[in-house]
Structure 1
């Protein structure tokens, strides 16, 4: 039985998807499209077809996405389909409304960078809140179930074909600008989804784990968890200390461990999200 999503959460998601779609429209119509620079996926196809036929981009974006939503409805779920349909509808409408407004810059490299940033943040907001703007991702999910290709590989294949097509339509310099835009947008999507405050998970194996744990609590204000392990070679019991810190605290943690036990083993990994527990810093008096 699926847990019903609270109304307040659903409203918040629709609001963020709305703003995300508006941002994508701004990135397209005020930066990229006037400079003949495209993005990947259905949006890129829509820009090319609009240029050839003079039919508005929003019209292509909406109707090209519809078949993928219908085909993938059972695969992706009702909520995802609804959020995606809403995002695509807002994008299609706002792109058409903004069409014809003066471009912010006619300098291709500025349009590429800032258009890619705005586009990536917009798409990231939509994905973070359970939707999508690109039917090729749905196709990739369906392909992944039947063929030995990952979702990322299928999406990349589509985008190489689409960005390559831009070279024949707009010229190869614009295709290269488009590739840069795609890369910038891809990075901004990750940054928007994962957040700016990347945390670090740290595992410490030391004969002085207790002293290290007390010092981390006293000097960093971070709680620690002790895990019980066993050396694979020696068979000896080992106490493994686990904690989560911010990126800025990593150097201080290393210094603390080095001072107490220079032979301690440290394993450090990136964490993009933490929830629950006692991750908040404890007050140090």
Structure 2
């Protein structure tokens, strides 16, 4: 049977047209024979088509990359600016007027500011200067530049912008001074930088010595609080610990966000019903993969389907209720998920 094609003579289904007349891709929809379709896919594409298509594709990719980079730069700048403002407010309105200290590099600068006549902004730059260089060596140029910009912005803000003192109550100073300072650190981290260089030091030391970053930071802060107790007073060191705890919890809250995600693994013989429930009732994406049951009364293993999905903590109760309806004996494992990207986790439930 013969089929006609634009710019080509009639061609039999089992034969291939001259590639100089047209490309295989252009007549592929007209060809029904599977063998001919397979051969047409192998035809060379003219150089002019390759260059034109490739050039347009590269331009589109470059434009997309530029837009993504621009959005990221704007977002990071906003986060860093808010972080500097929050940290400056916590320092000027709470910690500095009451001679309080904190952990980390900021705590070292606060300690020296309490013990010496040197201004805090200058001490902040001096203490963090080695960490800026270490950031360049450890995490790269971009992170080092952002960190330098954040710390370099915090120092002049604390020197030139003076917020009114909010309170002299020591407990409130420790709690809210740590809160605003921690919020500033967390926002800076969201913007791809830090305003306290001890985390950079902790990362470098952990890579060299094989210990965790948490252990390094804990040892640094124990040293700071010990020196504060020795040179200032035990009471000052105790309030410094409260300040540090408030700041660290606020950093975790700001960096990880309000939403907490939970990964759900479900093993049940009624996996089709569970799959339909998660997809249609809850409006969430899921992954189904094959596995083997490793436990049975007679020792045999059986093939099974394993369902995995990610939901917010507010949806756990609903999921467990729906699972109770389908299979009360289903094996359900829940684990914390730091963050998610893509998929249906942040979309509205499907309409049905």
* Aligned residue in 1 for 2:315: 249
Q: CA deviation at 1:72?
A: 4.1
1:68-147 equivalences under 5 Å are 68-98=131-161, 101-147=163-209
Q: CA deviation at 1:199?
A: 1.5
1:182-261 equivalences under 5 Å are 182-233=244-295, 234-261=300-327
Higher relative contact order (CA 8 A, sep 6+): 1
CA RMSD of aligned residues (A): 1.8
Q: CA deviation at 1:267?
A: 0.7
For the pair 1:25 / 2:88, whether they are aligned, the reply is yes
* Aligned residue in 2 for 1:266: 332
* Aligned residue in 1 for 2:351: 284
1:168-216 C-alpha deviation (Å, 9 max, x unpaired): 3432112111101111111111111111011211110001111122223
* Aligned residue in 2 for 1:275: 341
Unaligned stretches of 5+ residues in structure 2: 1-64
TM-score (norm 2): 0.76
Partners of 1:44 and 1:163 within 8 A in 2: no
Instruction: Give the greater-gyration-radius structure (CA).
Output: 2
1:50 corresponds to which of 104, 110, 113? 113
Aligned CA distance change for structure 1 residues 145 and 244 (closer, same or farther; 3 Å): closer
Aligned CA distance change for structure 1 residues 61 and 175 (closer, same or farther; 3 Å): same
TM-score (norm 1): 0.92
Aligned CA distance change for structure 1 residues 72 and 248 (closer, same or farther; 3 Å): closer
Task: Give me the whole-angstrom Cα distance separating, in 2, the residues matched to 1:116 and 1:128.
Answer: 18
Partners of 1:200 and 1:247 within 8 A in 2: yes
Q: CA deviation at 1:278?
A: 2.3
Number of aligned residue pairs = 282
* Aligned residue in 1 for 2:31: none
Task: Give me the whole-angstrom Cα distance separating, in 2, the residues matched to 1:180 and 1:86.
Answer: 29
Partners of 1:116 and 1:184 within 8 A in 2: yes
* Aligned residue in 1 for 2:39: none
Partners of 2:291 and 2:303 within 8 A in 1: yes
Unaligned stretches of 5+ residues in structure 1: none
